[in-house]
Chains A and B, each alone.
Chain A
Amino acid sequence: MIFEHAANAVIPHPLPDTWQVDAAAQLGADEELVSWAEQDLDNRLHFGTGLLLLTNQRLLSKPAGQTGWLNFPFRAGLVLSQHDHAGVAALELHDSTGRLALWRYTLANSPAALRLIDQFQQQLQSVLTGDPVQPPKKNLCPKCKGELNADTEECPVCSREIHQPPSTWTLLRLWRFAKPYQGQLLAGFLLMLGSTAATLVAPYLTMPLMDKVLIPFQNGEHIQPEIVAFYLAGMLGAAMVSWSLGWAKTYILALVSERISADLRTTTYEHLLQLSLEYFGGKRTGDLMSRIGSESDRISVFLSLHALDFITDVLMLLMTTVILFSINPWLALATLLPLPVIAWMIHLVRDRLRTGFEKIDRTWSEVTSVLADTIPGIRVVKAFAQETREAARFRDANKHNLLINDKLNKVWSLFSPTVSLLTDMGLLVVWAFGIWLIAHHNVTVGTLTAFLAYIGRFYGRLDSMSRIVSVTQKAAAAAKRIFDILDHVSNVPEPTKPIALGPVKGEIELRNIRFRYGNRAVIKNLALTIKPGEMVGLVGHSGSGKSTLVNLICRFYDVSEGAILLDGTDIRSLTVSSFRRNIGLVLQEPFLFFGTIAENIAYGKPDASREEIIAAARAAHAHEFILRLPLGYDSLVGERGQGLSGGERQRISIARALLIDPRILILDEATSSVDTETEKEIQKALDNLVRGRTTIAIAHRLSTLRQADRLVVMDRGEIVEVGPHNELMAREGAYYRLYEAQARNVDTDPDDSE
């Protein structure tokens, strides 16, 4: 019997097949399955499977690690709730006297559990009151509460986890980049065919030269100069043709491969810029730099040099084989005998070399990572006199690199000589068999010479062909690491059908949002609506999640659950750039790019006029100090804004935010590094600018937030108080305590005073 679902189930999530029989046996005749959740941990936190079933009458469970079923009929006072910690979630069932049951599972099962909790409340309510369960008005995603299309079951926002490993034929995927150059590639290939064929003419001509000229001469006949001249001219002609075709081919294909790798580089970088902050958080700068820089170069070298040579070799091999067989099949067979042996050898070593090269790549980016870590942090390194330690770290990384190279070279160094040895043995076989055939008058001396001339080349190429194994593996490893970036889907994906964003009023609604960095819950079920033009001050202890909230509103990260709406539209359904264009952001750690001050201020609006730039700088109280610099607005600021003080940098980043005239202004500790005097001035300027814009300001110095319409006090990811200054002071709650603490010791940071 196939288990049918209750008609009023919100979203048809079918029960997994493995549970069908068990579940069916438990349910009574008039009982309907409403929801279910799987459990993958038992209560001792060992892996095991269990199941929770919610019907219209009760909650049923076969807990992991136990054999029997638990049974909780609906009654008043039952509460089902979930909490999680360090990647493990727990679902608890209580009544007023105590805990009745506890289920644990990993976060993988959390969506199903949340669905079950939702349904549990509705069903329980309906049983207690006798009212039928309200069918959901809209098809809502149980996880993010976003609306679903009528015809889809999966929420487009929540169901975007991909666990598909990229295929091993990574290099073939480069075709995507080669396709625009199809024409040139075809031309190059034809030229290659021609030039390879031309190189094979010369050995062929040795045959008649030997049999018709030299051997008869040894037997006492005269050499006919015109025949000799004819053959030699043929050889010369073939060489000339092969030279010119080879030149054209190499030129065309080198151009193409250089372009392919340039395209690859830009595409990868463009893709990288689209990825979310989360991606950058987990990566090291040095590693990303080496992937985009040197590894795309390695692919280019591979394509223009090694792959090209290899294809030429294969063509030559095929043509030679055909020629040899057409001259003498038996001798040809003997010549080709060592080939399979060599192929087998190559196969044997292949795996080892590939892993080796992948490893070398990784240690190589470890080496660059040390550099990328240390150079930006050089002031800290020097301040704590840790130069020797950093040097040692670099030396260690290098040593590691050496170690792995040495290991690989052991296999590698054995490989080439072995191939040479095998080819030499192959030559011996041909000599021996050839002499035997001549002795039995089956072939002429000329044929044997031609064979030897052919296979001299042919075996010589085998040696270099075997090298293709390693370079292909190297290139494949490089390609894989580049495609790792390209395959990464942004965690803040662009919507497939973006909603056009009209003029923005600036209302921001946070609808029951939750957020975690990895398994660490930082924002917990937070709800807040900010009216258009309202100024909200965010306060709270350090680490309470203020900056995180700002990151979420700017969509640097996407919420784990819940939704953020701008003027009633989910920000996930807007294109990221159209959304961010409306936000002016001043970050806690201001970042300046290498360039002039004017360029830095105009970063968000490169076509801004001088007047606009100056107006923004004035508003941010940066104008005067900029003019004090020797080159005024044309002064160059170094990477990371070296050469400017912290407060100066902050004012430039305020000017940057003001210049784009955003509807929404977000100030994350925008004035934390300026003196009180300057702060007051900036504050005055900000007061004008804030008017009419939705503003979210974070400040530790609470006095800065006097202008705010409302203050939002956060504590450990939750809102504890909301209201205007006076009201909160009157309430004598969390805000009052923060404020008092600051008023008492003006000089100390509020965080220190717990």
Chain B
Amino acid sequence: MTQPKFQLQRNAFGRLVLESADAGRYEGVVPVRAFPVADPGAGISLINTDGHEVGWVDRLSDLPESQRLLIEEELASREFMPQLQQLIAVSSFATPSTWTVRTDRGPTTLVLKGEEDIRRLGRDGLLVLDSHGIQFLIRDLSKLDKTSRRLLDRFL
């Protein structure tokens, strides 16, 4: 386990501040996952307000507890890719169609503008883009319940 070469803390404005011996001090750094879908735990980059990388973490689990929590907190407040767990109803099988869904972030509705807004991710994952640009993730299609799969099938 390698100690990161930087220190993170949160300031009064709620921004993350990164300090490191060789890179300097940056206010408002933002953690970004390199593979948010394929491998969310690996490869976290810390980007400063100019858009340059000022820190890199190979694995989140390598970090000391306090630092990890800070990053996770920040990620949690920025990342928004609700996981679709159940399709409850769809307004029509023709697009645009309004879907009533259950996600890991609570129930909601989304508007699917066209079938091409459903993208395949790897073998059995799907990414559903709603009309406001929110991405709903289905990690494993085969793990959905039968009704959801049947509904979804009509759009694939």
Contact = CB atoms under 8 A, between A and B. Distances in A.
A165 B94 contact: yes
A88 B79 CA distance: 8
Interface string A96-133: 01110010101110000000000000000000000000
Interface in A75-109: 85-88, 92, 94, 97-99, 102, 104, 106-108
Interface stretch (A355-363, A592-600, A634-642, A677-685): A355-363
B77 A45 contact: yes
Contacts of A716: 51
A107 B81 CA distance: 14
A281 to B, nearest CB: 10
B12 A97 contact: yes
Nearest to A85: B78
A163 B154 contact: no
Interface stretch (B18-26, B60-68, B103-111, B141-149): B103-111
Contact of B106 (A46, A104, A107, A362): A46
A222 interface: no
Nearest to A543: B51
Given A46-B105, A106-B132, A287-B116, 14 more contacts: A46-B106, A47-B105, A85-B78, A87-B80, A94-B13, A98-B13, A163-B98, A165-B94, A168-B92, A282-B114, A359-B156, A518-B129, A519-B135, A754-B52
A199 to B, nearest CB: 39
B91 interface: yes
A754 B105 CA distance: 40
B5 to A, nearest CB: 20
A362 B115 contact: yes
A108 B134 CA distance: 10
Contact of B133 (A47, A287, A484, A518): A518
B76 interface: yes
Contacts of A164: 96
Contacts of B39: none
Q: Is the interface of B mostly helix, strand, loop or mixed?
A: loop
Given A47-B107, A359-B156, A519-B134, A99 B13 contact: yes
13 contacts: A46-B105, A47-B82, A47-B107, A47-B108, A87-B134, A87-B135, A98-B14, A99-B12, A106-B134, A107-B134, A168-B94, A519-B132, A716-B51
Contacts of B76: 44-45
A198 B93 CA distance: 43
Given A165-B91, A518-B133, A47 B78 contact: no
Contacts of A41: 80, 105
Nearest to A363: B156
B97 interface: yes
Nearest to A43: B77
Interface string B122-139: 000000010111110000
Given A47-B108, A163-B96, A99 B14 contact: yes
B24 to A, nearest CB: 16
Which of B13, B93, B115, B132: most chain A Cβ within 10 A? B132
B7 interface: no
Contacts of B133: 86-87, 107, 516, 518-519
B14 A102 contact: yes
Nearest to B109: A47
Q: How large is the interface on A (under 10, 10 to 19, 20 to 34, 35 or more residues)?
A: 35 or more
Contact of A162 (B79, B96, B154): B96
A163 B115 contact: no
Interface string A25-49: 0000000000000001101111110
A283 interface: yes
A283 B116 contact: yes
Interface in B1-48: 11-14
Nearest to A102: B14
A751 to B, nearest CB: 14
Nearest to A544: B51
Q: How large is the interface on B (under 10, 10 to 19, 20 to 34, 35 or more residues)?
A: 35 or more
Which of A88, A99, A161, A164: most chain B Cβ within 10 A? A88
Contacts of B111: 163
Contacts of B103: 47
Contacts of A88: 78, 80, 134
Contacts of B132: 87, 106-108, 519
A656 interface: no
Nearest to A108: B132
A572 interface: no
A178 B81 CA distance: 46
A188 to B, nearest CB: 30
Q: What 3 A-B pairs come out closest when comparing CB atoms?
A: A519-B133, A98-B12, A165-B92
Which of B11, B131, B133: most chain A Cβ within 10 A? B133
B6 to A, nearest CB: 20
A166 interface: yes
Interface string A354-384: 0100110010000000000000000000000
Contact of A282 (B51, B116, B134, B135): B116
Nearest to B15: A99
A691 to B, nearest CB: 37
Given A86-B80, A99-B12, A355 B154 contact: yes
Contacts of B78: 85-86, 88
Interface in A268-307: 282-284, 287
Contacts of B106: 46-48
B12 to A, nearest CB: 3
A99 B116 CA distance: 40
A480 interface: yes
A165 B95 contact: yes
B94 A166 contact: yes
A49 to B, nearest CB: 10
Nearest to A754: B52
A163 B131 contact: yes
B102 to A, nearest CB: 10
Contacts of A102: 14
A107 B107 CA distance: 17
Interface in A47-91: 47-48, 85-88
Nearest to B91: A165
Contacts of A46: 105-106
A86 B132 CA distance: 10
Interface in A462-477: none
B155 to A, nearest CB: 9
Contacts of B156: 359, 362
B13 A165 contact: no
Contacts of B13: 94, 98-99
Contacts of A106: 132, 134
Which of A106, A359, A480: most chain B Cβ within 10 A? A106
B134 to A, nearest CB: 4
A516 B92 CA distance: 28
Contacts of A484: 94-95, 114
A111 to B, nearest CB: 11
B15 to A, nearest CB: 9
A568 B41 CA distance: 52
B59 to A, nearest CB: 23
A139 B137 CA distance: 41
A518 B134 CA distance: 9
Contact of A355 (B95, B116, B135, B153): B153
A376 to B, nearest CB: 19
Contacts of A516: 133
A589 to B, nearest CB: 23
Contacts of A162: 96
A516 B91 CA distance: 28
A609 to B, nearest CB: 44
